[in-house]
């Protein structure tokens, strides 16, 4: 959380991912070059789930949508704790080709304890999403340790 405070103060969104080993390993990181917070998963060969098409593994799309939702909550809301994911439902719309995947997220409903987030992922054409997700997060500090 200390790093989060520092990253917010310096308006350096890229530092959000540095502290998360899984985000580094997957090459998933937020960026806000266009003024909008987006999350990018850089293409690398170990993301492939189907070598015959070829296509990116569906699990990695779910993972990056989840990370996009978390980065959005950390950056765009005033949360003082790491949001704790309760559940996520991913809809797979198209097979994802061996290219970078970009995702945006928005808060559908902000409650006192629970937040509902919608996230959407695409590749070269934002109008053709490869996957979307709806997720719930607990944002209170007095619950169990975050599962992030």
Partner 1 sequence: MTKSLTTPEERVALFQKLFSDTIPHNRALGLKVLAVARGLASMQLDWCEELVGNPETGVLAGGPLTAMLDGCCGMAVATMLKEPMPFATLDLRIDYAKPAEPGKAVIAEAECYRITRSVAFTRAFAHQGDSKDPVAAAAGTFMLGTKGKVTPAHQKGREILAQGRKL
Please report, as ranges, the residues that interact with partner 1 according to CB under 8 A.
19-26, 45-53, 56-60, 62-64, 66-67, 82, 85-92, 95, 144-148
In whole angstroms, give the CA distance from residue 79 to residue 102.
Answer: 24
Nearer to partner 1, 13 or 133 (CB): 133
Could you give the angle at the alpha carbon of 22 between the alpha carbons of 140 and 42, nearest 5°? 115
* Nearest distance in Å: CB 65, partner 1: 9
In whole angstroms, give the CA distance from residue 104 to residue 65.
Answer: 8
* Nearest distance in Å: CB 147, partner 1: 4
- State how beta strands 48-50 and 55-56 pair: antiparallel
* Nearest distance in Å: CB 63, partner 1: 3
Q: Which residue's entry shows tokens 């980065």?
A: 71
Nearer to partner 1, 13 or 26 (CB): 26
Nearer to partner 1, 38 or 90 (CB): 90
């Amino acid at each position: 959380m200390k790093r989060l405070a520092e990253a917010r103060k310096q308006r350096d969104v890229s530092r959000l991912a540095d502290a998360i080993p899984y985000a580094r390993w997957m090459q998933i990181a937020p960026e806000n070059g266009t003024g909008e917070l987006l999350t990018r998963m850089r293409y690398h060969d170990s993301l492939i789930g189907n070598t015959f098409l070829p296509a990116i593994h569906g699990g990695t799309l779910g993972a990056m949508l989840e990370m996009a939702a978390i980065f959005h909550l950390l950056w765009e809301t005033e949360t003082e704790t790491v949001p704790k994911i309760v559940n996520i439902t991913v809809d797979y719309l198209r097979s994802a080709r061996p290219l970078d995947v970009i995702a945006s997220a928005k808060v559908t409903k902000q409650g006192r304890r629970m937040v509902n987030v919608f996230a959407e992922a695409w590749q070269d054409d934002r109008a053709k999403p490869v996957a979307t997700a709806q997720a719930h997060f607990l944002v209170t500090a007095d619950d169990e340790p975050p599962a992030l």
